[in-house]
Structure 1
Amino acid sequence: MSETKSVADLLANAPSNWGRWGEDDEVGALNYLTPAEVLRGVSHIRSGTVFTLQRLIGDPNGDPVWPGREPATRTMLMDEATWDSPDAPKFPGGLHYADDKIEAFLQGSTQYDALGHVWYDGKIWNGYDARTTIGGLDKASVAPIAERGVVGRGVLLDMARFRGKDNLDKGETFDHTDLQECARAQGVTIEPHDVLVIRTNFLKLFYEQGEKFYQDFREPGLTYSPELVQWFADREIPNLVTDTIANETTYEPETGIALPLHCALMRNLGVTLTELCDVEKLAASCAEDGQYTFLYVAAPLKVHRATGSPVNPLAIK
């Protein structure tokens, strides 16, 4: 392990997109997804088959979350038993109804990160002062992403199947060269402005192991290198979508730094990160018919000043 002490040291010479879309920009690399890119994505629809990529909230088998967060809890407020009471509301015609609510981390399920979610050196995306996050994100919250929506050509990169595994292992890493080799094996080329959807199937272990899953927590995923970050910059990737909790390997192997790609890609390049997707049905379909490209569509909830938001992305083949 090297002597690098901070993410600021690690990324001292990293590329940046600050100011590229103006000093007031809050959606970053999603600016690459122009109307022409939407139409490019539409051109990859062959059968009209729709795959939803959200994990079930309140799954009886458990909801995986980042350590320290808790799964959503749903509370039933009204049901048929409510109407047994003589004090129950009465509506003309005899209407009864059910009502419930959830209490949840906004990033406790399949979700989009706001660009202001992670930072270092007192600056978030586009150079905004980190103190704009106090009490809620005044800048680079999830709301501008939600208002804009995300539509473009998606490419599934099935790293687990490419490596001949049911799932990647704890702490297993891969980089941009591996992504390109995976794409080549699938018969597809990663093109500029593609939304990258990566399958590890690592969360299979959560459903098999329960709480033991969190012992020595180290997810597999992309790992930092200057070359990888430059590759994302050169390819102008707008959105990284994965089936893991945090998009990248939890700790960078050479330095031990936690989640450096959140800083290099999201904070510096404005790449939007989407986490905790369920891509198993999509992956099975792609493996069966050999079509790994599709129209990707997502719109997180419009939550004022929020650091992230639940989402149910669509892949349309």
Structure 2
Amino acid sequence: MSSGTEPTLQLTDLLAQVPTNWGRWGAGDEIGASNLLDPDQVLRAVGLIRHGRVFTLGAPVGADDPVLPGRTPPLRRNVTDDAAFRSGRQERLPGGLAWTEDLLTAHAQFGTHTDALGHMWLDDQLWNGHPASSTTGAMAKAGIEPLAHRGIVGPAVLIDMAAHRRVQSLARAETFDHHDVLAAAQAQGVAIRPRAILLLRTGWHAALRADRQRITDDYWEPGLTFSPELVRWFHELDIACLVTDTLGNETTREPRTGVFYPLHAALMRGLGVIFTEAAWLDDLAADCHRDGVWEFFYAAAPIPLIGGSGAATNPVVIK
């Protein structure tokens, strides 16, 4: 992905005055802010279930999926199907059963997915100070497997930034901050409570699926943009997980400095916030607009890929 210009500052400059959660849950911690989703938070989330309506947030996979530049879309193909049996290339099982089977070729972060906390690093250190050398060959520290075994379950709130700005989708490189998020929450009549799982809808995912030409070498997503105040807001509220309908969970570069993905460094690497990206939020948002209920039970678990830097996830919301 080309930046076009060199950043005027480095990430270390931007992060000099922001808090971290390193050491908060022990020197060996690999699951970060998911520690905040304790049994009390799970029970609070259960208490938000009123009607039993279920929504899944995983986007369809295998239909020319939108992916970041440099990645290839997932490719599914049949390796066994009816034609194989009819042609004699495959024999039925004793007793007569036939079957179909697929092969999926994909990056670990395909479709709707969760990043491992060690997915990105700075100054040779991952989340919680684990060494970058622990990623060599496979992730020995802060990989996706510990998060998969832990699960991400708790109370969640959806903020519809696209609707707040009265558009179908935010525009390329359009940004917003925590003040905008709070203004949208107020307009929706919902509070963002401590230890929340925060879902942000921009409309971008649906726009990408309708027009793949948006993905170019100078790709620039809309989304949250870095400021020390925003990072402190996440820290003070103890936001446990950030879920968006964009491919990178934040605007691709900080517009003032040109730095790429500073919130991956400040929130994921620094605070241990769990990032789930490329979620499908349109159906859930439509229901929330109908009933005015924006807070709900949320549960997700990525595939427990041993040594993985991330894995596909299909979050489940129950209202």
Query: TM-score category by the smaller chain?
Result: over 0.9
Match of 2:28 among 21, 24, 27: 24
Matches of 1:136 and 1:276, distance apart in 2: 24
**Superposition deviation, residue 3 in structure 1:** 7.4
The 1-side partners of 2:110 and 2:292 are apart by: 32
Q: Deviations over 1:55-101 (max 9, x none)?
A: 10012xx3111111011111211111111244533422211111111
Q: What pairs with 1:108-119 in structure 2 (closer than 5 Å)?
A: 108-119=110-121
For residues 150 and 123 of structure 1, what CA distance do their matches in structure 2 show? 24
Is this contact kept in 1: 2:243–2:275, CA < 8 A?
yes
1:34 matched to 2:38? The reply is: yes
SS in 1 for 2:211: helix
Moved runs in structure 1, 4+ residues, more than 4 A? Answer: 1-4
List aligned pairs for 1:86-101, cutoff 5 A: 86=88, 88-101=90-103
Q: Is the 8 A contact 1:142 1:302 kept in 2?
A: yes
Tell me, yes or no, if the aligned pair for 1:2 and 1:254 is still in contact at 8 Å.
no
Q: Name the CA distance, whole Å, in 1 between partners of 2:55 and 2:93.
A: 40
Could you say what secondary structure the match of 1:83 adopts?
A: helix
Counterpart among 45, 53, 65 of residue 57 in structure 2: 53
> Where do 5+ consecutive residues of structure 1 fail to align?
none
Pairwise CA distance, 1:141: 0.2
What is the TM-score when the length of structure 1 is the normalising length? 0.96
Rounded Cα–Cα distance in structure 2 between residues aligned with 1:214 and 1:3: 20
Question: Which residue in the other structure is 2:224 paired with?
Answer: 222
Deviations for 1:94-114, whole angstroms, at most 9, x for unmatched residues?
111111110001112100000
- Aligned position for 2:238: 236
Q: Which residue of 1 aligns with 2:71?
A: 69
Give the stretch that moved more between structures: 257-266 or 5-14: 5-14
Residue 4 of structure 1 contacts residue 10 of structure 1 at CA under 8 Å; is this kept in 2? Answer: no
Equivalent residue number for residue 193 of structure 2: 191
- Separation in structure 2 between the aligned mates of residue 90 and residue 278 of structure 1, nearest angstrom: 39
Asked if 2 retains the 8 angstrom alpha-carbon contact of 1:77 and 1:98, the reply is yes
Alpha-carbon distance in 2 for matches of 1:69, 1:220: 19
Deviations 1:105-125 (A, max 9, x none): 111210000000011100000
Q: In structure 1, what is the equivalent of residue 294 of structure 2?
A: 292
What are structure 2's unaligned runs of at least 5 residues? Answer: none
Any conservation in 1 of the 2:117–2:274 contact (CA below 8 Å)?
Answer: yes
What is the match of residue 310 of structure 2?
308
CA distance in structure 2 between the aligned counterparts of 1:236 and 1:133, rounded to whole angstroms: 27
Tell me the C-alpha RMSD between the 2 structures.
Answer: 1.5
Partners of 1:233 and 1:2 lie apart in 2 by 29
The Cα of 1:4 is off from its aligned counterpart by 4.2
How far did residue 208 of structure 1 move?
A: 3.0
Residue 128 of structure 1, CA deviation? 0.5
Give the residue type in structure 2 aligned to 1:37. Q
